[in-house]
Amino acid sequence: MNPALFRRGLTAATALFTLAVGLGGPPAAAADGPDSAAYLPRPTGPRAVGTTSLHLTDDSRPDPWAAGADARELMVSLWYPTDSPNGRRAQYMTPTESELLLEEGGITGVPSDVLSTVRTHAFTEARPAGRVRGLPMVALSPGFTKPRTTLTTLAEELASHGYIVAAVDHTYESVATTFPDGRVATCTACEVPHDEAFWNRLVAGRAADVSFVLDELTRAHAPWEGARLIDPSRIAMAGHSVGGASAVTSMPADPRVRAGVDIDGTTQIPLPVSGLSRPFLFLGRQNQYTPGTGDGAVTTWERDWQRLTGWKRWLVVEGAEHASFTDVGLLAEQLGIDIGADLPAARVAEIVRGYTRAFLDLHLRHRPQPLLAKPSTRYPQVHFCTPETSTCV
């Protein structure tokens, strides 16, 4: 495949941010007080949500990006159902992380710490609730350069419906990863030439990261008390951009990942010729992933679609842009930044949450999901595609 096409999709949010600020000037002040602070949409599930973070170290392999580092350090955020909300809402990200993420997007018209004040719905360090080995788990992987927190809206939604969610910061692939001792790792991988070998290395490393996190959370003496609630036979993976592409790499490498979701991510390492029989969902932009157009991004989905031999769906969202699918689009629009989408990011977030949860409920809980059977009048922007005939309805 053409690495430039893959790279274009990954950096779309940054380009749109920069363009919006350059054309429109500084957005209206959004952090002057509590009434104007940016916020995440409220989860729709019946459960209160708790959250915590883990610092994990994989001594079995060197870090792929940090020269001389004999081990791979990771930060993981966990969201989960709780019966004991404690009133302390989790901070979205630190002021330093906010500053570095805004700097990456070329945004200077808002306070540098504005993203540290985003209102979330999860309660920090609340007690996990559920039956032992009774809850399905979802691993989340963010886009290249993006912190794990940019998937918080999806994570809180799933946790409110009884899932344990583990979002991984892939160290040195994000603009900022903060460790408990105060160290902040920045994007060393950004400085490496982004050729095809780079992207192959990236997604292979992410698959190793996810497998290690699963090892830690499902072992006998796990480093988190709520890990005993995880049902190791019901684990899925979802991600955005290269994080979604990494699900295609992780599933053949780790049979514990029973289902996968690629959200707007051009796939890199192809599925094995022997195929993959586990359930998979492609969910992306209509203007990028409509089959039959011949674009370099969509051809990677078409290639892998032929090797998916189990349950599968290919859905495209009309009017969405790359940033629309994560908190990046939601928060940009609240800060007055035009990300170039015709469909409001809040609507795309509703679509991502609804279809991802339906997919997981179907395949991890075996609950029928009419939403996945055919197009819905509730979501007319979502089109079901049949790559074999290059049609979407």
Query: Could you give the CA distance from residue 126 to residue 97 in angstroms, rounded to a whole number?
Result: 24
Burial (Cβ within 10 Å: 0-12, 13-18, ≥19) of residue 135: buried
**Whether 167 contacts 209, CB under 8 Å:** no
The residue behind tokens 């005993």 is 228
**Whether 159 contacts 335, CB under 8 Å:** no
**Whether 386 contacts 286, CB under 8 Å:** no
pLDDT for residue 30 = 33
pLDDT for residue 108 = 84
**Whether 375 contacts 393, CB under 8 Å:** yes
Query: Could you give the CA distance from residue 347 to residue 359 in angstroms, rounded to a whole number?
Result: 18
**Whether 311 contacts 363, CB under 8 Å:** yes
CATH 3.30.1330.60 fits 3-392, yes or no: no
Q: How far is CA 72 from CA 208, 281, 361, in A?
A: 10, 30, 33
pLDDT for residue 8 = 34
Segments in the chain forming alpha helices (H): 3-10, 12-24, 95-104, 152-160, 196-218, 242-253, 286-289, 296-305, 327-334, 345-364
Q: Is 136 helix (H, G, I), strand (E, B) or coil?
A: strand
Query: Could you give the CA distance from residue 178 to residue 101 in angstroms, rounded to a whole number?
Result: 13
Closest to 9 (Cα-Cα) out of 320, 258, 218 = 320
- Cα angle 147-77-163, degrees, rounded to a multiple of 5: 120
Cross-strand bridge partners of residue 262: 239, 282
Closest to 260 (Cα-Cα) out of 241, 245, 275 = 245
pLDDT for residue 295 = 82
pLDDT for residue 75 = 98
Query: Could you give the CA distance from residue 316 to residue 291 in angstroms, rounded to a whole number?
Result: 10
Q: What are phi and psi for residue 267, nearest 5 degrees?
A: -75, 150
Closest to 246 (Cα-Cα) out of 324, 292, 304 = 304
pLDDT per residue, tens digit, the chain (393 aa), is 333 333 333 333 443 343 333 322 333 333 333 344 899 999 999 999 999 999 999 999 999 999 999 999 999 999 999 999 998 999 999 999 999 999 998 888 899 999 999 999 999 999 999 999 999 999 999 999 999 999 999 999 999 999 999 999 999 999 999 999 999 999 999 999 999 999 999 999 999 999 999 999 999 999 999 999 999 999 999 999 999 999 999 999 999 999 999 999 999 899 999 999 999 999 999 999 999 998 889 999 999 999 999 999 999 999 999 999 999 999 999 999 999 999 999 999 999 999 999 999 999 999 999 999 999 999 999 999 999 999 999
Domain ranges of the chain: 3-392
Query: Could you give the CA distance from residue 320 to residue 311 in angstroms, rounded to a whole number?
Result: 25
Say which residues have a Cβ less than 8 Å from residue 173's Cβ, sequence separation at least 6: 65, 144, 145, 187, 189, 202, 206
Give the sign of the dihedral formed by CA 225, CA 227, CA 230, CA 235: positive
Buried b (16+ CB within 10 A) or exposed e, 344-358: ebebbbbbbbbbbbb
The full DSSP string for 338-392 is --S-SS-HHHHHHHHHHHHHHHHHHHHS----GGGTS--TT-TTEEEEETTTTEE
